Structure 1
Amino acid sequence: MDIGLIRGIVVEVDTRSDENDKVSGGKMTKIKVETAKGLRDALCYVNLLGQVKIGDEVVLNTTALDLELGSGGFDFVLVNLNNLPQELKGRGHIMKLRYTPLQLKVFSGEEKESILESIKTPVILSELHSMLLPAVFGVYSQDPRLKVGYIMTDGGALPIDYSKAVDFIKQSGYDFSTFTAGHAFGGDNEAVNIYSALALAAKDCDVIIMGMGPGVVGTNSIYGTTAIEVGMGINAVFSLGGRAIVIPRIMIQDRRKRHQGLSHHTITSLKKIALSEAEVVFVNPKWQSLDLSPHKIVIERAPYLDYAALPLKTMGRGFSEETEFFLTAAAAGSFAVKCYKEIG
């Protein structure tokens, strides 16, 4: 195993407040760093490492860009040497990123309060982070008074601050709360695992959406992907007594044949990983004849939304290119509201 590290001096700090780019300022700051390998673009997590300014000496993690992976075109600040020493603040004894140089402590929900032993809440399971926005607004399109809880797993990005979708929802004014489970961190609430996250979220939320943050790991093999956490999520929801609702990954423009139409990752989660029944929401009636037993196929009309006003992107493609993908996620949100009202 390897990690790419380099020291450098901050030569530019982006302090703009651009409504179309929530990465600028706030929870994350874009910077330019002069290094022995030239000028490099980097991101600094302000909540974790403190403010950064021109002239600061920083250490960058360059691993993803050195491998030419899709990490958004940025290195990440590992430490700002000008902010040392950095002392612990606040309560909490639960460690995340345990036994790594970046281990950090959080005050988890399990430390604060008792949690439920069972739940009845409808839980939407999303395979990609790009499903979150349409699913959430699908819920609010049916009842804007509901409280939606988002459990971010550790299958993708670990800091929730990296999510532009979460920022957008937070600024919408609706009742929305976040829970970071496992090694994911930075949510309104912290949880040790997805089971306790579900139990914590169900205490206060009417509808829950659970899925990974930005980014997904894939290896072109049947099980070598974090996307199969959907199947594990179905099992968790069932074991606690909730109602599992799955957003299938349907893509038209993906160049990879295994992801054209219904993704093989969705099929693997449903047929190989899930040990209990879930409801799988589609908007196109053509999927009604699909054999996903023992799971139930639900055909749900996509809710009316101003989709053009939402910053919808998946794998670099927008609403016009992957219409069914986004409509399906929104339909899962509206279907979850029906389930919530059935519960009573």
Structure 2
Amino acid sequence: MIQIRRGTVVEARATGHGTTDLVVEIAGVRAQAISYDATGPVDVGDVVVLNTTAVALGLGTGGAHIVMAVEGREQPGDVSGHAMKLRYTPVQSSVDAIEQTRSDALDEVASLQGMPVIAAGLHSALAPAVVAARAIDPSLRIAYVMTDGAALLMAFSETIPALREAGLLDKTITAGQATGGDIEAISLYGALAAAKAIARADVVVVSMGPGNLGSGSRWGHASIEVAAIVNAVAALEGTPVVVPRISFADARERHRGLSHHTVTALSLALARAQVTLPSLAPERAAEIRDRLQEVARKHDMIEVDLGTAEAALKESPVPLRSMGRSYEDDPDFFRAAAAAGVHAATLARARR
């Protein structure tokens, strides 16, 4: 069900990356809200229609209401493009899909030719992976593919504009129903082909956007898509590099040490992947190895020395946060993602 309320905008601040942060007043109570540029311009005094569902439920993605429309204002919009995303919803929109506009180039991609592709189960792994890869080789071209496993509008991510502004990320691609990237792709396969043929990437990171959905059950979590990512990369003859979700700060038993999300996804992957592990304290390393036993025969476990990437993480120009925790709070989570970045960069450099 959807909860819809009306509110009046009392504060508005454009972020410069596709959204406007608002303070709205609903029945005398002030609250935070987000308005996407695609909804049209919004300013102080406007009456807005708000989706308040997530905030009402107190969900992790519910820090702010979402503007659905500005009352009394039409949005003519640009209706170019022949591919619809967010199909059959009130916010379906047209895009120029790369598979249509550059089919000549993409149809030539029969293989990724070993290109390393990092598969991560959380959006918060993106920044440390990219920062680490750049620390190994600043000349690499790095592309990011956002799947439709979580947030569907790339503008919701604060990490991506920060990486772009720091000069760390070259191209963004949105796959499936996700939208807002430099390149729009109909499928994950099309996105990977575009990363090679159009973005000319040396390294690709694939993950969902912000807002991972979990349930505490084996099958009920969005991170399970890592299995499908591994399979897609392998089918196109790329090199799948998996970020293990490691945390010794998470109070939840199912995520402490090595998350069950990682184990489940690796157990479902039909293709062989390279699972990168950072150096850990002996007792922690033993715990992670023990958890990986059930999938160790299916995949390659690779220990990675972070080298210069260790310092790069600590000095990252992009904020590192996951589940409300910083690098200082949960260093091994970010070091695990960085290990994938280091390994992928090393593979990419060897391919040149």
- TM-score, scaled to structure 2: 0.90
Unaligned runs of 5+ in 2: none
The list of structure 1 runs, each at least 4 consecutive aligned residues, that deviate by more than 3 angstroms after superposition, is: 287-290
1:191-210 per-position Cα deviation (integer Å, ceiling 9, x unaligned) = 11111111111111110000
1:104 — aligned with what?
A: 93
1:160 and 2:154 aligned? yes
Please state how far the C-alpha of 1:50 moved relative to its aligned partner.
Answer: 2.2
CA contact (8 A) 1:145 1:175 kept: no
1:29-76 per-position Cα deviation (integer Å, ceiling 9, x unaligned) = 111222237333211112x11221112121000010111111252000
Please state how far the C-alpha of 1:187 moved relative to its aligned partner.
Answer: 0.6
**1:138-287 equivalent positions in 2, closer than 5 A:** 138-174=132-168, 176-203=170-197, 204-271=200-267, 273-284=268-279, 286=285, 287=288
Tell me: CA distance 1:35–1:321, structure 2 relative to 1, closer, same or farther (3 Å): closer
Unaligned runs of 5+ in 1: 16-23
The aligned amino acid for 1:52 is: V
2:111 — aligned with what?
A: 118
Residue number among 14, 23, 27 corresponding to 2:18 in the alignment? 27
1:43 and 2:16 aligned? no
1:339 — aligned with what?
A: 347
1:62 — aligned with what?
A: 52
CA distance in 2, matches of 1:181, 1:158: 9
1:177-222 per-position Cα deviation (integer Å, ceiling 9, x unaligned) = 1001111110111111111111111111110000011110101110
1:130 — aligned with what?
A: 124
CA distance in 1, matches of 2:126, 2:211: 13
CA distance in 2, matches of 1:4, 1:72: 12
CA contact (8 A) 2:131 2:168 kept: no
The aligned amino acid for 2:69 is: V
Residue number among 89, 94, 98 corresponding to 2:83 in the alignment? 94
Tell me: CA distance 1:251–1:53, structure 2 relative to 1, closer, same or farther (3 Å): same
CA distance in 1, matches of 2:117, 2:311: 21
Please state how far the C-alpha of 1:308 moved relative to its aligned partner.
Answer: 3.4
Residue number among 315, 331, 335 corresponding to 1:327 in the alignment? 335
Please state how far the C-alpha of 1:150 moved relative to its aligned partner.
Answer: 0.2
CA distance in 2, matches of 1:220, 1:234: 23
CA contact (8 A) 1:288 1:299 kept: no
The aligned amino acid for 2:278 is: V
CA distance in 1, matches of 2:138, 2:201: 13
Task: Calculate percent identity across the aligned residue pairs.
Answer: 40
CA distance in 1, matches of 2:339, 2:16: 34
1:74-118 per-position Cα deviation (integer Å, ceiling 9, x unaligned) = 00000112431x224263111111111111111111121021232
Please state how far the C-alpha of 1:342 moved relative to its aligned partner.
Answer: 3.1
Provide the secondary structure at the position in 1 that maps to 2:241. strand
CA distance in 2, matches of 1:267, 1:323: 20
1:306 and 2:306 aligned? no
- TM-score, scaled to structure 1: 0.92
1:296 and 2:281 aligned? no
CA contact (8 A) 1:49 1:79 kept: yes
CA contact (8 A) 2:122 2:210 kept: yes
CA distance in 2, matches of 1:325, 1:198: 26
CA contact (8 A) 2:18 2:155 kept: yes
Taking only aligned residues, the RMSD between alpha carbons, in angstroms, comes to 1.6
Provide the secondary structure at the position in 2 that maps to 1:257. coil
The aligned amino acid for 1:295 is: H
Provide the secondary structure at the position in 2 that maps to 1:341. helix
CA distance in 1, matches of 2:143, 2:169: 9
Provide the secondary structure at the position in 2 that maps to 1:232. helix
Provide the secondary structure at the position in 2 that maps to 1:83. coil
CA contact (8 A) 2:272 2:298 kept: yes
CA distance in 2, matches of 1:125, 1:171: 23
Provide the secondary structure at the position in 1 that maps to 2:126. helix
